[in-house]
Amino acid sequence: MQILETIEAGADALSLACQRELDWINEMQRRGYSLLNVIGVTRNYSASYFPNPSRKPRKDEGKPKPPERPIASFTPMKQRLKVRKIAEQQGWTQAKLQRAADVNSRTMSGIWHDPYRRVTYEVLVKIARVLKVEVTDLVEEESD
């Protein structure tokens, strides 16, 4: 595992970090790296999207790697979803929001009933669009 980038703490740090993570995942896939999924099984995601040309050396191959930056110490934070609270304030039911956001019903049920459920950034973006709020409004961080 390698730390590719660090994000400075701030009001929109979660949103920025999620977006940068997606950018890096897309970049690694574009380069043809096999990525590990949540179960730990490798799959070459790019195989179905990109033709497999004869192997060419990467631009950075053979060059020294930049020094690793130390990770600053921080207080662990739990992320709590506020999807249900915001949705109910706007008059949405779980089922209506699930259909409008085009989110899997089991995923929405988990989000609705478990505010500490891990959820992908893409799902939060879909929900935020329907609720007409920022993604950062759907998540709050609380200290352990």
**pLDDT the model gives residue 78:** 73
What pairs with residue 103 in β-bridges?
Answer: none
> 77-143 has which CATH code?
1.10.260.40
**pLDDT the model gives residue 116:** 87
**pLDDT the model gives residue 102:** 94
- d(CA 55, CA 91) in angstroms, rounded, equals 55
**pLDDT the model gives residue 19:** 78
**pLDDT the model gives residue 48:** 42
**pLDDT the model gives residue 51:** 44
**The pTM is what?**
0.48
CB 139 within 8 A of CB 81: yes
| Averages of pLDDT over each 10 residues, the chain, 144 residues | 68 76 77 62 44 56 60 58 94 96 94 90 92 90 66
Q: Where are the alpha helices (DSSP H) in the chain?
A: 13-30, 83-89, 94-101, 105-113, 121-131
- 113 burial (CB, 10 Å; 0-12 / 13-18 / 19+) is exposed
**pLDDT the model gives residue 16:** 77
**pLDDT the model gives residue 34:** 67
- Ranges of each domain in the chain: 1-74, 77-143
